[in-house]
Structure 1
Amino acid sequence: MNTTDPARRNRDELRALGAATAGSILDGIPVVSAVLGGAATFRVIHDRSGRSPLALAAGLAAAITAYGVVENLVDARRSELYRTSHTSPDRTTALPTSDAQMLARLQSAAVHAARRDAATHATSLDSSKKLLTNEQLWQGHPDGTATAEMPGGTTLIYRPVPVPDHNYVRHTYLLTCPGTDEPTEVHTMAGLVRLIEQAPTGPTDADTTTEPVATPGAQDEQNETGEGLGVDSSPGETELPSDTVGAQETPAPASEPSDEPLPTPQTTDAPTA
């Protein structure tokens, strides 16, 4: 389903993992700086003045100040790491120069985004992250939906549904079964398994061979044609063409010569005037 280069995908995953690790470390630096700064200030003030309330107040102020300063210093670096872990720019492909190229790139981006969204939000079903959260399982589509082939000819559909009144998107998963028109919304992995097990399946060993059946109209037409040719048009016999029917008729035998004398023709004499 996914045509991404495996080597490139692995590099992207390693880069994202490294960026996430570095981001976690940067998130902890301001906290550590605040603790160390507050503790050092508390000890110095307490040793010099011997007054714990004053040392505590000074230490708290130093901790807040240290946290703010270090947070501003690491914020820019954290933002860069966040962009690195959430984006994968393709520097080998030039930017589109025409409307057709731009549209094609947008459609491709929509397909990839749909596949990633389907895998990301599948944790609402697969909280164990064992199957449905795998991006390779999904096939994205330009309309923002994604599909995953399930057993028994069923298909799991990811469909984002915008909710304008609350200004957010509801991520829904639906299962389509063979022979049904309306998909069924799925809320849990157990419900998904139950729907797949109950999905109707077509017969696998049904005999699909059929024999041609002659219709009454075709049989009557065949009989009429046979009668017109003077041959028996019963099923199973081959009809002869009309020009060969007369040729195959047996000619009548010639009459044999007779010994009887031929009759003498009678003549009538005209009367003499």
Structure 2
Amino acid sequence: MSDGAVDPAAGQSFAAAGHDDPAATHEQYLRAFRHTGVSREQLRDLLEAVDGFLDSITPRADEHAPTGGWAPESTALAFQIGRAVEQVLAERDAADREKLRRREIRDRLITALDAVLDCLRSLPDLAEAEVDLGTTAINEGFQVYEDGSVRTTPAQEFGADPGELEQRRFELDERMTDAVAKRTGLMNETAEVLTEQLGVAPDGIGLPWVLVAAAAGGLDISEPFEFAAHHLPSSPLRELVVQLVADIELAAALEAGGDMVAGGTKTLDSESSSGDTESVE
């Protein structure tokens, strides 16, 4: 054995406690390495030491090893320790990824809800400005269209100065189209945020993955979307929000159904294991 190699023979107590049962020994190592007091850095150092030990006893091409290899018991322990360390490190990496995923879901939900609430807060002022301009234009005899464009009427044109009438029409048209653009732009931007943040498919097919994840985590986010659906004007945004409310309810129902199936399976397994075979066909 080369100098500086680490012999993990200290783990022999684990093997003795496990009565030479590899599975029991592996579980004991896992329990020890999963302890919160054992840092990831310590686990990596241990894995590096185990790898160094195994490298030191692996015969080179020009070396002859005795039957069974050098220190077979220590070698077996080293493999067990290394396998347990790798498993615990993988578990911690998976836990970190899950933590990041939950944080991403939370951030996406917050961004989506903030966008909806900001839209609801801003729409009344935008709508009021649009109505005031439209009322002014109509009172002056102009026609106002859905896109905000303003047109003159024959009654206005009769006896009016064409230049002054066109100038006034142009002024109202510019202000109205700008007001309509601000309102529709806000709703379109909000719809884009909801689509992106909640994971709505481009074709609208299937449940948004963020809503599915929220339901799996037991989060009920239906109330703010239901509120928005009741207060938004008829628009593509409102249609999207109404669909999201339905998707939230469906995701929750599917999650509840899955829990019921899992619970039923568990009960069936427990009954089967109790030896009462007459109740199970």
The normalised TM-score by structure 2 is: 0.28
Which structure features the higher share of helix residues?
2
The normalised TM-score by structure 1 is: 0.28
Q: 1 or 2 for the larger relative contact order (CA 8 Å, sep ≥6)? A: 2
